[in-house]
Structure 1
Amino acid sequence: MSARDTFAGGVAVITGAGAGIGAGLARHASSLGMTVVLVDIDAGAVAGLRAELEAAGGVAVDAVCDVRDPDAVQELADRVYRDVGPVRLLVNNAGVEQFGYLWDTPVANWNRIMDINVDGVFHGVRAFLPKMIDAGTPAWVWNMSSIGGVAVVPLQAPYIVTKHAVLALTECLHLEVRHAGHDHIHVQAVLPGAVVSNIFESARGVDDSDSEAVTAAESQRAAMLDIKAAAMDPVAAAEVVFDQAAAGEFYLLTQPEYVSSAMTERARVLSTRQAPQLRTERRFDPAKH
């Protein structure tokens, strides 16, 4: 079944929809004929995207919500089901980055990335999934992990930790909905490779009291921005993800060959019990993937 056959006419709720892959997913969902609820902490970003989608003939609703706040996410779910309709697709996408050595990372920055990247996914699942289960109609939950969910990278430990956590959460949730007999619920993990976004520019670093710590953090930011220069267009990435989801795949990979190579390498390291090795970052070349 095609993505249009699967998703057209349904409601999609996408957190972190104001930019990057979240906005790409929203644009493609709208092009498929979905009503899109655009959720972000940046009111201006989602208001602008709503206007864009409506100008193109789509139906969209913008909503400001801090996914760190479980009450706010629950209120969002209640409002969507009351005012928009049952949700066919929930995308727990909101996320932030952090650069620097782990021992230099401010506690506030650690708490922030855990609260958004991990707790935000949990809050989304807890608020929306019971309603999706009760509706009794086919519905999809996508949780945003990353190629970083199957890799280890120095100077990005907090982010990598969150993406490993989201992947494990999603794998367990997939099993739990099967165990509970909710066969109409499809839980899938999204693992993007390099996709254009502003996550690296907006990422936090370390306190400026230690010049060496700041230099290390900013050098990693520069390396990630270099990778971004050759990254995939968010709408093109979204199209791949929607097609894989409609085909019933569990791991939704924006660049299948590229991300699969990281999965294979992770499996090799674990199976051989080899210690993580420092290596030069592989530059993403979209022409090869």
Structure 2
Amino acid sequence: MTAREIFTGGVAVITGAGAGIGAGLARHASQLGMTVVIADVDVDAATRLRDELVADGRAAYAYGCDVRDPDEVVELAERTHRDVGNVRLLVNNAGVEQFGYLWDTPVANWNRVVDVNVNGVFHGVRAFLPRMLATPEQSWVWNLSSIGGVAAVPLQAPYIMSKHAVLALTECLRLEVELAGHDDHVHVQAVLPGAVVSNIFESAGGVSDGDVAAAESQRTAMLDIKAEAMDPIAAAEVVFEQAAQGRFYLLTQPDYVGSAMTERATVLATQRPPELRTKQRFEPAEH
């Protein structure tokens, strides 16, 4: 079956949907005929996207939500089910970046990455999944990891750690849904994008003490890749089609991200320590 055949008519809730791949997923879901709930801490961005979709005759809602706050995510779930309907697709996408040596990273910046990238996914699963399990309707949960979830990269340790955590969480969640006997109608999938056009690097945290230059140099290096980054709608189209095929790992750039996964598997299989490359190029998931 195609993505259009599977997802048309359902409700999609996407966190961090005001920009980047989240907005791309929202736009493509809308093109497929889904009713889209655009959730973002930036209410203005969410509202602008909603207005764009509604102006095209599509059904869309914009809700402010800080995924760091479990009560706000629960309210998002309750409001969605009350005002919009049962959720066919939940996309836990909200994410932030951080540059700099780990020992220079401010505690507040570390907590921000963990709270948004990891805890935000947990809060989303906890708020939405029980209702999805309780109905026999087919539904999907996508958690946004990254090519960074299968890589080791200096000067981005908090982000990389968070995306490894999301990937492990998603793999365990898939097993738990199967163990509980719900895998016939609830499909858990991990999204691993490569570089997708976004403003994540501009809004990324840095350091105020220590080696500030190293942190900003890494930010500059990441900004340089934006010229080659994938269009968010094109990335979303690939993800939806792979999901429709029943794949677990959904890769925006199958060859590039797939090669990173193969490299990771080789490193683990051979127990080779991480190697610092002269020109280490990393293209993470964008939000």
Q: Secondary structure at the match of 1:75?
A: helix
Q: Does 1:228 align with 2:248?
A: no
Counterpart position of 2:212: 214
Amino acid at match of 2:234: A
Amino acid at match of 1:203: A
Amino acid at match of 1:220: Q
Counterpart Cα distance in 2 of 1:77 and 1:32: 22
Amino acid at match of 2:227: A
Counterpart position of 2:273: 275
Question: Gaps (5+ residues) in structure 1?
Answer: 285-289
Q: Secondary structure at the match of 1:26?
A: helix
Amino acid at match of 1:197: S
Counterpart position of 2:167: 167
Q: Does 1:114 align with 2:95?
A: no
Counterpart Cα distance in 2 of 1:282 and 1:222: 12
Counterpart Cα distance in 1 of 2:177 and 2:135: 14
After TM superposition, the structure 1 = structure 2 runs for residues 28-177 of structure 1, keeping only pairs within 5 Å, are 28-177=28-177
* TM-aligned CA deviation for residue 282 of structure 1: 3.8
Q: CA RMSD in A?
A: 0.9
Point out the more displaced range, 130-139 or 21-30. 130-139
* TM-aligned CA deviation for residue 205 of structure 1: 0.2
* TM-aligned CA deviation for residue 57 of structure 1: 1.6
Q: Does 1:187 align with 2:188?
A: yes
After superposition, give the CA deviation of every residue in 1:135-173 in whole Å (9 maximum; x if it has no partner). Answer: 220000000000000001000000000000000000000
* TM-aligned CA deviation for residue 133 of structure 1: 0.8
Amino acid at match of 1:231: A
Counterpart Cα distance in 2 of 1:265 and 1:63: 40
Counterpart Cα distance in 1 of 2:221 and 2:160: 16
Counterpart Cα distance in 1 of 2:57 and 2:104: 48
Give the number of the structure with larger relative contact order, counting CA–CA contacts within 8 Å between residues 6 or more apart: 2
After superposition, give the CA deviation of every residue in 1:49-88 in whole Å (9 maximum; x if it has no partner). Answer: 0010011121100000100011110111011111100000
Amino acid at match of 2:18: G
* TM-aligned CA deviation for residue 202 of structure 1: 0.3
Identity of aligned residues (%): 74
Which of 246, 254, 260 is the matching residue for 1:262? 260
Counterpart Cα distance in 1 of 2:220 and 2:269: 33
Counterpart Cα distance in 1 of 2:255 and 2:19: 25
* TM-aligned CA deviation for residue 112 of structure 1: 0.7
Counterpart Cα distance in 2 of 1:94 and 1:56: 25
Which of 222, 244, 247 is the matching residue for 1:246? 244
TM-score, normalised by the number of residues in structure 1: 0.96
* TM-aligned CA deviation for residue 283 of structure 1: 7.5
- Alignment: residue pair count: 281
After superposition, give the CA deviation of every residue in 1:219-243 in whole Å (9 maximum; x if it has no partner). Answer: 0001111112200000000000000
Q: Does 1:205 align with 2:194?
A: no
* TM-aligned CA deviation for residue 281 of structure 1: 2.5
Q: Secondary structure at the match of 1:200?
A: coil
Amino acid at match of 2:228: A
Amino acid at match of 2:202: E
